[in-house]
Amino acid sequence: MAQEKLVVILIGPPGAGKGTQLELLQNKLGLEVIGSGELLRERKKKKDFTGRKIGQCIDAGNRVPTPVIFKLWVDRMEKLKKLGNLKGFIIDGSPRTIFEAEMIDLSLGWYEWSNNTKVVYIKISKEESISRLTNRRICKNCGHNIPYIGNYKELTQCDKCGGELYRRPDDTKKGIRARWKWFRTDVMPALNYYRRANKLLEVNGEQSIENVSRDIFKVIKQK
């Protein structure tokens, strides 16, 4: 029997450092990524009805409905299924609701990727989240996220491309509180869905990047 593909579903509240941890996991384990945000940004480049509408949705700060994103995931999964040397993949940006969690389960079942799924929840408090996000910076040029942790605090320009850094206009206390409210009402039920199934792996996100990464590898049992 072929080796089971590793599927990591990465969930965290705003400011948990998900992007940074995703990159580490991806590079160390050679995984692919199914990222809802990235898929939507790519899709909106096509200037048809849906492409334009996705653009409007993102610009207005609204969430694109599940069926539209779901189409993009499944297309991506179809492509991954054809990769001969696929080791596994990380799901990022979803599930945002219990409904999406169920849709992901069913899709993974269909593609026969259900047997090695790790749902990792990077946990941080709201206070820590507010402190990190009101201080984090973003590269104007490449969009890279500079977290307010460790050595990153000292950076004066983007560590990837040398671009200028700025703060996101909605990284205010008010904006962050709104994102948390949504996290509690929509994403938390999805977390509880995995918790009830005994599938939720919790990691303390209020540590250094290295230690969070170490703990993630520990819970997904990868050396």
Q: Which residue in the block uniquely carries the two structure tokens 């492409």?
A: 51
Minimum Å gap between C-beta 158 and Zn ion is 3
Minimum Å gap between C-beta 153 and Zn ion is 17
Stretch that binds Zn ion, among 53-61, 129-137, 154-162, 191-199 (CB under 5 A): 154-162
Tell me whether residue 158 is annotated as binding: yes
Among 83, 106, 155, 161, binds Zn ion (CB under 5 A): 161
Distance CA 177, CA 103 (A): 28
Among 33, 90, 119, 158, binds Zn ion (CB under 5 A): 158
Do residues 18 and 137 make contact, with C-beta atoms less than 8 angstroms apart? no
Provide the terminal-to-terminal Cα distance of the chain, rounded to the nearest Å.
23
Tell me whether residue 96 is annotated as binding: no
Among 25, 91, 130, 139, binds Zn ion (CB under 5 A): 139
Distance CA 84, CA 71 (A): 23
Between the alpha carbon of residue 39 and those of residues 46, 61, 128, the distances in Å are 12, 16, 29
Distance CA 50, CA 95 (A): 21
Among 28, 160, 167, 214, binds Zn ion (CB under 5 A): 160
Tell me whether residue 57 is annotated as binding: no
DSSP 110: H
Stretch that binds Zn ion, among 12-20, 91-99, 144-152, 204-212 (CB under 5 A): 144-152
The site for Zn ion (CB under 5 A) is made up of: 139, 141-142, 144, 158, 160-161, 163
